Amino acid sequence: MSGLCNFVKHRGVNRQRTFYCVMNELVLMAHVMFGVACLVTTLWVFVDVLNVSESNQGRIRKMSCAAAVFMWLAFLIAGYWYVFSYPVDKAIILKGPWPFAHSFFMETKEHLVILLLMLATYLPIAAAGNLSANKDARRVVLWVAGMVVLLALMMEGDGATIAMGVKMGLLAGQN
Amino acid sequence: MQNTGISRYTMSFGLALAIASVVNGLLVVAKEKIPAVLAGMQKLTGHHWVSHSVIILGLFGILGWLFAQANGGQGIKLTVNRLIGTLVAGVGTGGLIILGFYLAGD
């Protein structure tokens, strides 16, 4: 992070803007970190449910709750960033060579993420039953966890494309 | 209807999730195609996406709670296959509406 600060300072940007720039990046990184944490914990739940027994049921429930909490944190942080910081990036993307990074990838991401949030919230509800004794309950959790993982991977890909859209716009602006 | 051993909340919120997913997709189309809807959502919270999120998450919570109160508090009755089918179809349809709409519009 100090590297980023130094980079901004060497560009002749003042202290206040440097602070804003670093905070903006921190918020964005926290969003990605919690999103990945949700993905990993949900994958953990999926594998644990495939090997469910009396001994790991408690862990499955805790990990399901953790996945939901991580997803809510990722969503709330992303919401803050999207409302207050994204308009600048959006303008860069739309003026650059990759306008579809906003018009398709961001537009779909900001609405598909609501599905992901509901699925992640539903996961601990579905995992609350007796999974070791009930095959039907296991099937529901496996389907929900599978959809969470697939949607989360899609969101990560969308996020990467949006970041590339900003980069392409900035590079095009330098030439 | 056989007893599936699945809690009423799993059934109720699963069905609510499927419905809210489809409504989520339809709301995207409505706000992009009808300026008055977009303006109304903008006015509601100050940002259309915040209003959109509140409406869909509220619908999910309210429908889930209502379905759990059905049948004298026993919750809505579904077979597990029907629940999983509805859930996957709802999420899939909601997702495809959004992807299809922006793919066609891009």
Q: Tell me whether residues A125 and B9 touch, CB distance under 8 A.
A: yes
Listing DSSP states for A114-160 in one string gives HHHHHHHHHHHHHTTS-TTT-HHHHHHHHHHHHHHHHHHHHHHHHHH
Cβ neighbours of A96 (radius 10 Å): 20
Those residues of chain A whose CB sits closer than 8 Å to some CB in chain B are 79, 82-83, 100, 103-104, 107-108, 110-112, 114-115, 117-119, 121-122, 125-126, 128-130, 133-134, 136-137, 139-140, 143-144, 147, 151
pLDDT, residue A153, reads 97
Run means of pLDDT, 10 residues per run, chain B, 106 residues: 74 97 97 95 95 98 96 90 97 97 84
Q: What is the ipTM of this complex?
A: 0.94
Give tens-digit pLDDT for A123-146. Answer: 999 999 899 999 999 999 999 999
Does A1 fall in a domain? no
* 3-state class (DSSP) for residue B74: coil
Band the pLDDT of A22: cuts 50, 70, 90: confident
The model's confidence at residue A2, banded by pLDDT at 50, 70 and 90, is very low
Domains in chain A, number: 1
Quick one: closest CA in B to A140, which residue? Answer: B84
Report CB contact under 8 Å: B14, A126.
yes
Q: How far is A139 from chain B (nearest CA, A)?
A: 8
**Higher per-residue pLDDT: A126 or A2:** A126
Distances (CA, A) of A139 to A20, B17, B46, B75: 46, 17, 41, 20
* pLDDT at residue B49 in the model: 96
Give the residue numbers spanning the domain of A111: 31-174
Domain spans of chain B? 8-105
Question: How many CB contacts within 8 angstroms connect chain A with chain B?
Answer: 90
Residue A161: CB atoms within 10 Å? 17
Question: What per-residue confidence (pLDDT) applies to A109?
Answer: 97
Indicate whether A134 belongs to any domain.
Answer: yes
Given this model, what pLDDT does residue B34 score?
Answer: 95
The per-residue pLDDT for A172 is 87
Angle at B104 between CA B99 and CA B106, to 5 degrees: 90
pLDDT-derived band at A16 (thresholds 50, 70, 90) equals: confident
Closest to A147 in 3D by CA, of B94, B72, B25: B94
By three-state DSSP, how is residue A12 classified?
coil
- Residue A44: CB atoms within 10 Å: 17
Q: pLDDT tens digit string along A37-86?
A: 999 999 999 999 999 999 999 999 999 999 999 999 999 999 999 999 99
> How does residue A1 score in pLDDT terms, banded at 50, 70 and 90?
very low
Per-residue pLDDT band at A10 (split at 50, 70, 90): low
Average pLDDT over every residue of A151-161: 96
Q: What pLDDT does residue B2 have? A: 46
What average pLDDT is seen over chain A? 91
Best A118, A141, A144 member to test B by mutation, with max B CBs in 10 Å, is A118
Asked, for residue A15, whether it belongs to a domain, the answer is no
A67 within domain boundaries:
yes
In a domain, A140, yes or no: yes
**Alpha helices in A11-134, H assignment, sequence order:** 15-50, 57-84, 86-95, 100, 107-126
